[in-house]
Structure 1
Amino acid sequence: MHSLDVSAAVSIAVFAAVYTGMALGRWPGVRMDRAGIALVGAVLLLTLAENRGELLATINGEALALLFGLMLLSAQFEASGLYRVAAGRLAAARRGDLALVAGVAGVTGTLSALLANDVIVFAMTPILCIGLRAGGRDPVPFLLAHAGAANAGSAATLIGNPQNILIGEAGDLDFWRYLIEAMPVAVIATGCTVLLVHLLWRGRYHLPPAPHRNEMKATPAEEEPGNGRIDRGPLTKAVVLTVLLLGLFASPIPRWLAGLAIAALVLVSRRNTTRALIGRVDWGVLLLLGALFIVTQAVAPLFRDLVAPFAAKDRIDLATLAGASLLGGNTIGNVPFVVLFLSWFPALGPETLTRLAVFSTLAGNFLLIGSLANIIVAERAAHQGVRLRFRDFAAVGIPSTLLAMGIAYLYFTATGTAG
């Protein structure tokens, strides 16, 4: 009994340390990101645990395989130059401020619905920063729309972000039915972000006159906006593979296997080496998710008695889902929150899982720490000398998220049961 208590105490301590790191984004005194923190915690728990096989068995290999396939498909689009050219043309466009904010949000949201949003913001953020500053505009409001649309747009599909992939695989949700139910909310949420950005930044979109505009960091020529053209060969292949993937989602073939099949076809290339394509995969996100499965499972049994009265439920009411998503997503992040939530409530039905996917994704826009996509935008912008401050994000994120989640609540109440 004593050894059990010690083991439980160690598991809780490691869990608390890892999830505190998830919330803060770092451990004080060491240069580790969230993926590193999660890996250290998982390795420590595996070293001390007697049930290593049980912990390893909880890793959702199917979800990770699908995400890997999507990342390689996105790498094919990136190799064609699509992200670079799209972001560059958006940034250099001579149009009104509101139209440009809407354009950035529309492109980002659409791409994020089709591919993992983390990959989209990683590729596009530096180009937007460079192009907007070169045109005399402050990149910050456009980056706020970029991050907000990456989250909101990704809510439209089960492949738009890591947490939706996890939820879709856990509940074996139908891809097209989810799309029909979630798309209206995703579009409205994107509109809420555009509206709030414009209301708060109207009249402040432009930078002071030179020389301040030249204070950005030097950037390799291949990353300059508008530099180069879209390579039609790789782009055609990427589009064909995307259509094929969507078609496979309508077939009996498991989604994870469809994702791996597409990944294999991406790697069959005469222009890009396997090493180059694999190098564009965000291994940090895959590592983070795999490690979090282990960390979460290590403590899940300790709370079994606490959640036992609710664990067998197949429905949770909308208000509880929305509140839990908002709280969990903006303390430990929406991906860790979903991993933990699914481990506590394994019997949730398709309706509740659909709403969980939407609410947990929309909640990521509340604060800068709410989603990995937000953090990637902030870090990639910082590399270009653009500072995305916590308070600037919150000024847009808090009201736009509350508005979007409120509309989602009314929409789900009107189109189904409130549970």
Structure 2
Amino acid sequence: MVTTIVIFLLVYVAMGVGHLPGFKLDRTGAAAVGAMALMALGYISPQDAWNAIDYKTLGLLFGLMVVSSAFVVAGFYDKAARWVGGLRVSPPLLLGILIVVGGGLSAILTNDVVVVAMTPVLVSITLTRGLNPIPFLLGFCFAANVGAAATIIGSPQNMIAAEALELSFMGFMKVSALPALLGLPLIWLVLAFMYRGKWQQVPSQGGGAQAGSAAQAATPGIPFDRVETLKAAVVTLVMVGAFVFSDWPHMLIALAGAAILLVNRGISSKNMLEHVDGELLLLLIGLFIVNQAMAATNLPQHLLAELSSIGLHLQDPLSMLAIMAVLSDLVGNNPAVMLVAPFLHGAAHAEALGAAIALGSGFSSNIVIFGSIAGIIVAEQGQAHGVKISFAEFTRAGLPVSLLCLLLAVLWILYLT
């Protein structure tokens, strides 16, 4: 039992810090090593480890990643980013448009893939225009996390929660879409206020026009393929229709859409599969196994009993909202949802609980960079293109955004219950 707890804690330290201290072992590596160590030492049997893996969530996520990758290789994300960045509007209005686009795309095409595809182009465009890229990158990141809370397919944690609670696509959307939509203007209000008079680029943010030219050269555009984009859009619309109007399992709908797009005469399947985030899938597999081994010790059940004694119940939507808000900033939003997923079955207020998980994990993850994969991607890709978003600056903007959004979420959960 002690060994299992130690391994579990080390894995989740890596989730929070980004790596295992003292080792070059990142989040995915830590989850994989933790799972393998627990199996090798006999603290979870191979069969129990296999049974712990939620193949429905993984299948759904994989299928949606493939569908989203079709938009990547067709040049849609690049085209969208360049279209938004090329609009000759004032910086505050440009920020608002970017927030709407980022939030809307993330609700339909999974936020992590959208952020990966569009961030380098946005850096390049803002630097080329002589704009301070930081408020635009932060707005895009915050909108991706908030907008993704609107639907089951917006983020991996939504998929995990929806599968655990057995929520339908529309059942999930009707309790999460409105607060997610209302959260987008709150992002704009905070950032527009904080960065008033700071819209223009300064040398420390990229070195002037030379940095902008370098960034533009570093991110060559993907040629826009209208036919492939249209094909991907049609498949996506059909999938969403199937999610809404059919009883076909979500995983099978996503896999069917992925299969159709992979059989392609113009784009190789290899190019599409290169954009599937295999590391995220492996991280989730590792965490499923580690969490199951921890559950077998009965320690989580004892901790839940202690939480109940102070008024925090996992079956209570407001309590869940608070738990998600804290956990997401300690270990990241995906691992946070995975920790509570085994205890969600049979909830009396399943839809309200699903909303609490989606809104709590999505809204609070904007407080710190490592609260979400989207935050990590924006910070790392910005750094790669000469734009440093410090931990302090991210939190200085993300904290008021998250607090306002969480206040909105509290009012919404109270309304639902």
Structure 2: stretches of 5+ with no match in the other structure: none
Q: Does 1:186 align with 2:183?
A: no
The letter for the 1-side match of 2:392 is R
Equivalent-residue separation in structure 2 for 1:38 and 1:191 (angstroms): 36
Determine if contact 2:38/2:44 at 8 Å carries over to the other structure.
no
Q: Does 1:384 align with 2:385?
A: yes
1:373 alignment counterpart: 374
Q: 2:357 is paired with a residue of what secondary structure? A: helix
> In the TM superposition, what are the counterparts of 1:237-276 in structure 2 within 5 Å?
237-249=231-243, 250-276=245-271
Q: 1:408 is paired with a residue of what secondary structure? A: helix
The letter for the 2-side match of 1:307 is L
Distance 1:345 1:182, change over 3 A: closer
2:84 alignment counterpart: 90
Scaled by the length of structure 1, the TM-score of the pair is 0.92
2:328 alignment counterpart: 329
How far is 1:31 from its partner? 3.0
- 2:291 alignment partner, one of 274, 293, 296: 296
Q: How many residues align?
A: 405
How far is 1:343 from its partner? 2.2
Equivalent-residue separation in structure 1 for 2:200 and 2:38 (angstroms): 51
Distance 1:135 1:61, change over 3 A: same
Determine if contact 2:73/2:271 at 8 Å carries over to the other structure.
no
Q: Does 1:44 align with 2:45?
A: no
Q: Does 1:307 align with 2:300?
A: no
Q: Does 1:346 align with 2:354?
A: no
Distance 1:172 1:134, change over 3 A: same
Q: What's the CA shift string for 1:354-375, capped at 9, x where partnerless?
A: 3222222111112212111111
Q: What's the CA shift string for 1:158-193, capped at 9, x where partnerless?
A: 110010010111112011122122111011111111
Q: 2:96 is paired with a residue of what secondary structure? A: helix
Q: Does 1:212 align with 2:240?
A: no
Moved more, 295-304 or 373-382: 295-304
- 2:275 alignment partner, one of 276, 280, 295: 280
The letter for the 2-side match of 1:61 is Y
- 1:21 alignment partner, one of 3, 9, 14: 14
Structure 1: stretches of 5+ with no match in the other structure: 1-7
The letter for the 1-side match of 2:295 is A
- Report percent identity of matched pairs: 34
Q: 1:215 is paired with a residue of what secondary structure? A: helix
Q: 2:112 is paired with a residue of what secondary structure? A: helix
Equivalent-residue separation in structure 2 for 1:183 and 1:205 (angstroms): 31
- 1:35 alignment partner, one of 28, 40, 46: 28
Q: What's the CA shift string for 1:313-370, capped at 9, x where partnerless?
A: 783141x222211110000111111101112443334231232222221111122121
Determine if contact 1:216/1:385 at 8 Å carries over to the other structure.
no
Distance 1:385 1:211, change over 3 A: closer
Q: What's the CA shift string for 1:81-134, capped at 9, x where partnerless?
A: 111111122223221111111111111101100011000000000000011001
How far is 1:211 from its partner? 5.5
2:197 alignment counterpart: 203
Scaled by the length of structure 2, the TM-score of the pair is 0.92
The letter for the 2-side match of 1:262 is G
Equivalent-residue separation in structure 1 for 2:215 and 2:208 (angstroms): 17
The letter for the 1-side match of 2:282 is L
Equivalent-residue separation in structure 2 for 1:162 and 1:317 (angstroms): 20
> In the TM superposition, what are the counterparts of 1:75-224 in structure 2 within 5 Å?
75-208=69-202, 212-215=208-211, 218=214, 223-224=219-220
Distance 1:55 1:308, change over 3 A: farther
How far is 1:208 from its partner? 3.1
Q: 2:334 is paired with a residue of what secondary structure? A: helix
Moved more, 227-236 or 334-343: 227-236
